Amino acid sequence: MSTPTEMQQILALARRSNASDIHIVAGLPPLFRINGEIILSDAPPLQREDAKRLCYSLLSPEQEAVFERDWQICCSVFDEKLGRFRVSIYYQAHSPEMALRPVSDHIKDREELNLPLEIEDLTRLASGLGVNVSEISQWRASYRYAPSAPRKARLVTQLIAGRSVQDALDVLKFEHKRAARMIEKVLKSAIANADEAEADVEKLYVSESRVDGAGRRIGTKTWIAKDRGRAHPIRKEACHIHIAVAEE
């Protein structure tokens, strides 16, 4: 699938600027994340129709149907000159928005990634065991201060522990508890992290699904009137959701 000229210009600028992410948002010019900071390009702000046109320009008819059904889609695009990009398109405030991440052909070493020395120990351990690093690695994602009581979230995480990621996603899709939507997002984030590390997504399973208490939910300090002029606090709790996936 050929990349439209306007989109090619944005992606080329991102490559030249060594940007780690590109964001297409209605009401703002194209945004680039460079060295951890969001930088606005010199282009004029995008209208809602412009943002929608750029988002749909990267989708095939089949992908458009999936996006219209689910209101979100993750895919990749390849340009012969600019290389491959991971694409995430979603609806925000009734308008399509897009986040793209360039995928480099060069595999950086530990020093270039500013990783700790323990990574080399892990690599040597995998080499000594005669396995790939991915076979003894886990990919994690967390949702901190999720607006759900830990007890209620644990009822859902117990359903997916030890399952393959596809089975876990199917379980969460048909689970009616409110916490299931939050846990589904965390699981998809962990899968995306594994995919970014070139793990075999088909072989992933949920190696850990943990919920920790996070105290009172922020912004919910309320009271309920009682008899004799008294009032009792309403305690709405929050939790930290942690999901890890690994290869079988």
Examine residue 110 and state whether it is found in any structural domain, yes or no.
no
Examine residue 84 and state whether it is found in any structural domain, yes or no.
yes
Same domain, 56 and 125: no
| pTM assigned to the model | 0.48
Examine residue 190 and state whether it is found in any structural domain, yes or no.
yes
Alpha helices in the chain (DSSP H): 5-16, 48-56, 61-70, 110-113, 118-129, 150-160, 165-173, 178-196
Same domain, 136 and 178: yes
**What pLDDT sits at residue 122?**
62
Same domain, 125 and 16: no
CATH number at 40 reads 3.30.450.90
Same domain, 80 and 156: no
**What pLDDT sits at residue 5?**
82
Same domain, 122 and 95: no
How far apart CA 22 and CA 40 sit, in angstroms, is 10
Mean pLDDT of the chain: 84
What residue ranges of the chain have pLDDT lower than 70?
A: 1-3, 108-110, 113-136, 218-221
**What pLDDT sits at residue 103?**
86
How far apart CA 179 and CA 81 sit, in angstroms, is 43
The conformational region for residue 19 under phi > 0 = left, psi -120 to 50 = alpha, else beta, is: beta
**What pLDDT sits at residue 117?**
67
**What pLDDT sits at residue 138?**
82
